[in-house]
Amino acid sequence: MNDALLYVFTTNGLLFLISIIFWKFPPKKINSLYGYRTPKATQNQQIWDYANTSFNKSLLIYAGISFLAGLAFVTFLNAALTWQPMAFVFLSIIVSIVKTEKGLTENFTEEGKKK
C-alpha cells in the first residue's frame, strides 16, 4: 500500500468509520462525552435527539463523499497528496455542523420549543 493511500485511509477513512459508529450508535441521553454537543443542542432531550440525528446523517453523507474524493485523488490523479485529504475532512465536519445548526434554528425557538 502506498503512502498516499494510507494517508487517505487514516484521515478520510477514519472520519467515515467514526460517522458510521455515530450513525449506528447515537447517544440516547444528553451527556458531556458523546454526541453533537452545542449549547443549543443540549437545551432539552427533543433538541438533543434532533441535533444528533441531523448531524450524524450529514456527517455520514459528507464523510463518505470525502472518503471517495480522497480515493479518487490517489487513484486517478496520481498526485502528491499533502493537504487535500485533510481539507476534505475539515470541510465535511464544518458543513455538517452548519447544516445541523441551521436545522436547529429553523425547527426550534431560542427557548428550546419546537416551532
**Secondary structure of the chain in the HEC alphabet?**
CCHHHHHHHHHHHHHHHHHHHHHHCCCCCCCCCCCCCCCCCCCCHHHHHHHHHHHHHHHHHHHHHHHHHHHHHHHHHCCCCCCHHHHHHHHHHHHHHHHHHHHHHHHECCCCCEC
Instruction: Give the domain extent around 16.
Output: 3-107
In a domain, 63, yes or no: yes
Task: Tell me what pLDDT residue 1 has.
Answer: 61
Model confidence, pTM: 0.89
Exposure class string for 81-91: b at 16+ Cβ within 10 A, else e: beebbeebbee
Task: Tell me what pLDDT residue 84 has.
Answer: 84
Q: Which amino acid is at 98?
A: V
In a domain, 54, yes or no: yes
In a domain, 89, yes or no: yes
In a domain, 102, yes or no: yes
Q: Which three cell numbers stand for residue 15?
A: 472520519
Task: Tell me what pLDDT residue 82 has.
Answer: 76
In a domain, 103, yes or no: yes
Beta bridge partners of 108: 114
Number of domains present in the structure of the chain: 1
CA–CA distance, 39 with 54 (Å, rounded to integer):
16
Beta bridge partners of 114: 108
In a domain, 48, yes or no: yes
The residue ranges of the chain whose pLDDT is under 50 are none
